[in-house]
Amino acid sequence: MRELSYPKNKINVLLLEKVDKIAFDLFKEEGYNVESLDGSLSEKDLIKKIKDVSILGIRSKTIISEKVIKSANKLLAIGAFCIGTNQIKFESCNDSGIVVFNAPYSNTRSVVEIVIAQIINLMRKIVIKSNKMHSGVWRKDSLDSFEIRNKVIGIVGYGNIGSQLSVISEALGMKVLYYDIVDKLSIGNAKKCKSLNDLLKNSDIVSLHVDGKKSNTNLISDKEFSIMKEKSILVNYSRGNVVDIDSLIKNIKSKKLMGAALDVFPEEPSNNKEKFKSKVKGIEEIILSPHIGGSTKEAQKNIGSYVPDKIIDFINSGNTSSSVNFPKLSLPEQSDSHRLIHIHKNQPGVMLKINKIISEYNINIKGQYLKTNEEIGYVITDIDSVYNKEVVKSLKNIPATLKLRVLY
């Protein structure tokens, strides 16, 4: 039976965007062929490169388009070594039975720490004063400099990052308001706002921690800025599309806003050699950082091992419980058995067809579980007898089949 399962030394892993070396080592230890590149690849280059790749590791810069997926004949899994996954075309991954994993919590703390740092930077004008000193100007004053204690921070998006920021802000003596489209339990003394407007009009500091989905594009634009308090500040460490940059610039220039800190931009260079182009350049009230919210050694180490662990477990046991797009399923390993995984479009009757074929070949099922989401049906079947290529072929030929894997 084992010869029907895919040999590990034929599994090619391609890691892009300088994923932590731990990931390289973990895949290598597993017996896979691993190639790691420093930058991301353009669609054209990725299409060429992906043909023989079974596992692809990316961060936030690599765009996984429909064309890329269509050229990926052998791709089983994509590991997003980051939190956000809107760079990946999920419809295409689902149509090809490709599972996607990410690292939802590994850099949460890192983002929270830098956000706090930037809030203090903005409230004390540290960057402006530092720039002046570098050009020989000594400006000792307390003009527009404030403590953060007792200030109101409005957190938009109360997910992993937003809720941790809430805890630390409160520990520093700030009052916390939050708004989320989903009903979220308030942590500590944080107060839930009924609407985004409610939060905006009552916050001294607005910090954005929503996801970058299309409907969040320009979430903060002219109308929202007009509702914000005079001399408030804005921090965006979420996604670049969330803030309308032209509108932000207008509101900084008119002094409605005292300052802003941005880590993410509508267009970002795809590697360190490319130039950063943006209208915010040269406006010293806006502190800029190059999408480094989650970029600490600690976070990269966490992510570097979290994602490969999940992918290797998926390859070896079929466990999809931490996947982003697949039905979540995990079955304990059974001794003296073989495991088959059938991935199909979620349509009625597929399970019946799978079991009809298995019974026709007189094979006994030791354990079986089907889980579906809107798009995909995922079946793990443990059987006790040795079986042949014919069964595998028949299972593959069931209409609606996306992938069939023989694990052990």
Just list the catalytic residues: 239, 268, 291
Nearer to ligand NAI, 50 or 114 (CB): 114
Nearer to ligand NAI, 211 or 313 (CB): 211
Dihedrals φ, ψ of 207, to 5°?
-120, 125
Binding mask 315-344 for ligand NAI (x = CB under 6 A): ------------------------------
Closer CB to ligand NAI, residue 27 or residue 179? 179
The residue count of the chain comes to 408
Residue 79 binds ligand NAI (CB under 6 A)? no
Q: How far is the CB of 275 from ligand NAI (least distance, A)?
A: 20
Report how far residue 296's alpha carbon sits from residue 25's, in angstroms, rounded to the nearest whole number.
19
* Part of the chain binding ligand NAI (CB under 6 A), chosen from 62-70, 126-134, 156-164, 224-232: 156-164
> Per residue in 360-395, is it b (16+ CB within 10 Å) or e — as a string?
eeebeebebebbbeebbbbbbbbbeeebeeebbebb
> Between 59 and 338, whose beta carbon lies closer to ligand NAI?
59
Among 57, 294, 318, 327, binds ligand NAI (CB under 6 A): 294
Chain-centre distance for alpha carbon 53: 21
Of the pair 223, 255, the CB lying nearest ligand NAI is at 223
Rounded distance between C-alpha atoms, residue 31 and residue 316, angstroms: 12
What x/- string results for residues 358 through 397 when contact with ligand NAI is judged by CB under 6 A?
A: ----------------------------------------
Stretch that binds ligand NAI, among 33-41, 88-96, 208-216, 225-233 (CB under 6 A): 208-216
Other CB atoms within 10 Å distance of the CB of residue 344:
24
- Which CB sits closer to ligand NAI, 127 or 312? 127
Dist. CA 243–CA 46, nearest whole Å: 30
Q: Is 26 in the site for ligand NAI (CB under 6 A)?
A: no
Q: Which residue has the tokens 């966490």?
A: 302
Tell me which stretch binds ligand NAI (CB under 6 A): 31-39, 231-239, 316-324, 399-407. 231-239
* Residue with smaller CB distance to ligand NAI, 180 or 204: 180
Cβ-contact 170, 176 below 8 angstroms: yes
Select the residue interacting with ligand NAI from 109, 239, 310, 338 (CB under 6 A): 239
Member of 216, 232, 323, 325 binding ligand NAI (CB under 6 A): 216
Number of residues located near ligand NAI, criterion CB under 6 A: 30
Q: Which is nearer to ligand NAI, 60 or 319 (CB)?
A: 60
Token pair 């740092």 is found at 117
Candidates 11, 100, 210, 395; binder of ligand NAI (CB under 6 A) is 210
Residues 84 to 143: which contact ligand NAI by CB under 6 A?
84, 104, 107, 111
Match 């509108």 to its residue by tokens: 247
One residue of 57, 79, 154, 162 binding ligand NAI per CB under 6 A: 162
Binding flag, residue 238, ligand NAI (CB under 6 A): yes
Nearest distance in Å: CB 132, ligand NAI: 28
> Which two structure tokens, joined as six digits, stand for 27?
């895949």
Comparing every residue's Cβ against ligand NAI, the nearest one is 159
What's the closest the beta carbon of residue 387 comes to ligand NAI, in angstroms? 42
CA atoms of 266 and 49, how far apart (whole Å): 27
211 binds ligand NAI (CB under 6 A): yes
Which of these ranges, 65-73, 88-96, 180-188, 223-231, lies near ligand NAI under the rule CB under 6 A?
Answer: 180-188
Question: Does residue 237 belong to the site contacting ligand NAI (CB under 6 A)?
Answer: yes
Q: Which residues bind ligand NAI (CB under 6 A)?
A: 83-84, 104, 107, 111, 156-162, 179-182, 209-212, 216, 219, 237-239, 263-264, 291, 293-294
